[in-house]
Amino acid sequence: MGQEGYMKAEIVHGKAEQIRDVIRYIQRFKDALVIIYMDENLIESPLFLSHIKDIAKIHDAGLKVIMIPGASKRIDEILKVSNISWSVHDNCRITGPEAMPLIKMAAFDVSNQVMTALAGEKKTALIGNWVRARGKGVVNGFDFGTNGEIDKLQVDTIQTVLDDGFIPIFPCIGWSAAGKPYNISSVELAKQVAIHLKADKLFYVVPDAEINDSTFSLPENIGLSGEGTVPAMNIEELDSFIETNKNTNGNVSREKIINLLKLAKEACISGVSRVHILNGSLDGTIPCEIFSDFGSGTMIYCNNYGTIRDMGRDDISAVLSVMKPFIDSGILLPRTKEMLNNQIGDYIVYELDGAIRACASLVKYPDGQMEIAGVAVDKTCSHIGIGPKLIEFLVSRATKLKAKSIFLLTTQTADWFETLGFTESTVESLPAKRREIWTPQRSSKVMRLNIKGNL
């Protein structure tokens, strides 16, 4: 194949991989429940109808959707027109009882706006009073007045609405058993609805909500996407991130994101599979987040996202596909399906949402040395720290197996392995069997890591 043919093949392969990912995610999340909180500023933005169109499309793809619109901006407007003042305490709007009819009107006004937009996409949405609430009351001597907390959700009724193909819309209002209305924080409502309904995903779609290294201080263990944002954090990484950024210096945008991350942690701990913080200022952010590995925002999760496991025979074709660019560029030696089949016990893979995205192997030698080989990470995942995780996993495995020393051979990535603690060694130090197949033509460098306690 000539250079032109090779380039065309690479372009087609790249497109095919994107399409395969979309199909895989559609299959994976068919009938999944997605709770979408949309910030009030987005509802007034030029991108609002585009987001609604995307939400209609993911509903068409078989996902179940619940909308929870923010209404603070509309409530502000109506209270100002009516000359009713308010204050803010602990992220809650504090008003007297005379404000509640207007707050309720504003909340339903915004929900109607969302329902009308969905109708424009031929989607039937329902606004309901599915939230039983109780007054927040007096906390630490402070009276929260008309603010309420969720007491109970009408889960069976909501589930029926979803099963009938409708999109429920929750205004930020709850009612007591006696019919008294309370104002509920929309972001808190979204979290609670996700928990009560055991949602697969909770989206917080907020303008300019990007978590990156220019806005926040990132702990060392946090990887970045190709766009410079944090694509995902588990709960342990999230705790470290919040601690590192606990001093927001009065930055309202940073405080808002930190608050959302705290809500995300609470949701995940309470059973929500994944929570996503999305920059609503980006057109297409919602489908990108659902139908691609790293999406466009930041995902918070407890487990079952990226997993290192032993390679199975069904994984071999996918592993060869991950290796191919590295073999083509000369970084890796060629491998075949037969070779991997014979070495099945040596390889581990990194599985991300059902797709193999990286691999590596640990080869044992009679003299107690072990070799790390065949390390390959899909370029789409190269910025999030998968490579170091694979090496750490294999070093731990080699240590448990009482390896005297770990080595690897590389032509182009010696600097990277040095950052992981490997140092350059000699060809003469290799096991005899491995030394026999080393060639001066390839002239691979030997990198070594001695294991303390096993020498």
Q: With a cut of 80, say whether residue 228 has pLDDT above it.
A: no
Average pLDDT over residues 224-231: 78
What confidence score (pLDDT) does residue 213 get? 87
pLDDT band for 322, please (50, 70, 90 cuts): very high
What confidence score (pLDDT) does residue 192 get? 94
**HEC profile for 371-393?**
EEEEEEECHHHCCCCHHHHHHHH
What confidence score (pLDDT) does residue 246 get? 86
200-209: pLDDT as tens digits = 999 999 999 9
What confidence score (pLDDT) does residue 203 get? 97
What confidence score (pLDDT) does residue 428 get? 92
Q: With a cut of 90, say whether residue 223 has pLDDT above it.
A: no
Least confident of 69-78, 125-134, 315-324, 430-439: 430-439
Q: With a cut of 80, say whether residue 336 has pLDDT above it.
A: yes
Contact assessment for residue 364 and residue 405, using Cβ atoms and an 8 Å cutoff: no
139-148: buried (b, 16+ CB within 10 Å) or exposed (e) per residue?
A: eeeeebbbbb
Helix axes 48-60, 100-120, angle to 10 degrees: 60
Q: Which residues contact 13 (CB under 8 A, 6 or more apart)?
A: none
What confidence score (pLDDT) does residue 384 get? 66
Average pLDDT over residues 410-425: 87
44-99: pLDDT as tens digits = 999 999 999 999 999 999 999 999 999 999 999 999 999 999 998 888 899 989 99
Average pLDDT over residues 14-28: 68
337-368: pLDDT as tens digits = 999 999 999 999 998 777 898 999 999 999 99
What confidence score (pLDDT) does residue 5 get? 62
pLDDT band for 4, please (50, 70, 90 cuts): low
Bigger pLDDT: 341 vs 296: 341
What confidence score (pLDDT) does residue 8 get? 66
What confidence score (pLDDT) does residue 185 get? 93
pLDDT band for 7, please (50, 70, 90 cuts): low
Bigger pLDDT: 291 vs 244: 244
Q: With a cut of 70, say whether residue 119 has pLDDT above it.
A: yes
Average pLDDT over residues 434-451: 86
Average confidence score pLDDT of the chain: 88
Least confident of 211-215, 227-231, 241-245, 300-304: 300-304
Reading the block at residue 283, the tokens are 């057109």
Least confident of 51-60, 247-256, 311-320: 247-256
What confidence score (pLDDT) does residue 189 get? 95
Percent of the chain with pLDDT over 70: 91
What confidence score (pLDDT) does residue 411 get? 85
Bigger pLDDT: 145 vs 117: 117
Residue whose entry in the numeric block shows the structure tokens 């895989």 = 24
Q: Which among 264, 271, 191 has a CA at the least distance from the CA of 233?
A: 264
What confidence score (pLDDT) does residue 301 get? 86
Percent of the chain with pLDDT over 90: 60
Q: How far apart are CA 31 and CA 159, in angstroms?
A: 12
What confidence score (pLDDT) does residue 454 get? 54
C-beta atoms surrounding 441 within 10 Å: 5
Q: With a cut of 80, say whether residue 15 has pLDDT above it.
A: no
Burial class of residue 324 (count of CB atoms within 10 Å of its CB; 0-12, 13-18, 19+): middle
376-392: pLDDT as tens digits = 998 777 666 788 889 99
pLDDT band for 293, please (50, 70, 90 cuts): low
Average pLDDT over residues 157-165: 95
What confidence score (pLDDT) does residue 385 get? 74
Contact assessment for residue 280 and residue 193, using Cβ atoms and an 8 Å cutoff: no
Average pLDDT over residues 177-181: 91
Least confident of 69-78, 428-437, 446-455: 446-455
Q: With a cut of 60, say whether residue 6 has pLDDT above it.
A: no
